[in-house]
Amino acid sequence: MAVRIATIVFFPSLLVSLILACRTPDLWMIPAAFAGWYGADFMSGAAHMYLDYRPCVPGIGLDKVFFYEGSRGTDEYVAFKKRITRQINPFERLVFEFKLHHPRPDSLGRRSFLYLVNSPSIYLALIPALALNIGCWLGVVPGWLAVGIVVFLFGAVLAQYFHGYLHRADAPWYIALPRRLRLLMTPADHAVHHETLTRDFSTTSGWSNPLLNVAFNALRGWGMFSPAGLTPR
């Protein structure tokens, strides 16, 4: 219920801010929109990098779910997974789900819209989205800045939704068209990440992957991001 309410409030609030911002059109809105989209892509990649390598909570059976050998389409598996994952908080469940989709990437593509946006990002983004409404209404936020923030928040909240479509063979027109314009990644682009798990972590446009790849290699060289964090223990 909480994610439904947050979704119902969040996306209309972005539209309100966009309408208010466009009362005074400004050419700076165009580069601001691209900067916002780049920022959203960067956030998707940085979060993906961290969640991939953050160790799961040990000793509660997450490894048994991860390495489950039976059919995952049974009620038995669903009940078993729920029993194990209810022991951890929503953030730790998100950490686990990121690891769980690596050996079974197509499973992410079968998730619903509400499931994919049900992450801490939508709750964190809701506050600045509502604050932006007030700022735009009062005229204290420049139009170009409001556009950049709207695009950033929109892309950040939908990062996992776009990620899901990177693991689906079909793509509706509103996904296929941005892919043609290189505003969204293609499944082939994202496959590079799954081949190595050491590069191309972004899930939106992929524009920030070159920078994030440099950052990952540097951080790994400093002893962070151990491969042991990729699977539950």
Where do we find the tokens 């960067």?
42
Predicted local distance difference test score (pLDDT) of residue 37: 98
**Confidence bin at 8 (pLDDT 50/70/90):** confident
- Residues of the domain holding 55: 2-230
Q: Is residue 100 scored above 90 in pLDDT?
A: no
* Residue 121: predicted pLDDT: 77
Nearest to 165 by CA among 144, 142, 185, 146: 185
Number of domains in the chain: 1
What is the spatial distance between Cα 38 and Cα 176, in angstroms, rounded to a whole number?
A: 19
Residues 6 or more apart in contact with residue 207 via CB below 8 angstroms = 37, 38, 41
Q: With a threshold of 0.85, does the pTM exceed it?
A: yes
- Residue 67 CA to residue 61 CA, distance in Å, equals 10
pLDDT band at 165; cut points 50, 70, 90: very high
**pLDDT for res 185:** 96
Tokens matching residue 125: 């983004």
Tokens read off for 35 = 């900067």
Show the 3-state SS of the chain.
CHHHHHHHHHHHHHHHHHHHHCCCCCCCHHHHHHHHHHHHHHHHHHHHHHHHHCCCCCCCCHHHHHCCCCCCCCHHHHHHHHHHHCCCCHHHHHHHHHHHCCCCCHHHHCCCHHHHHCCHHHHHHHHHHHHHHHHHHHCCCCHHHHHHHHHHHHHHHCHHHHHHHCCCCCCCHHHHHHHHCCCCCCHHHHHHHHHHCCCCCCCCCCCCHHHHHHHHHHHHHCCCCCHHHHCCC
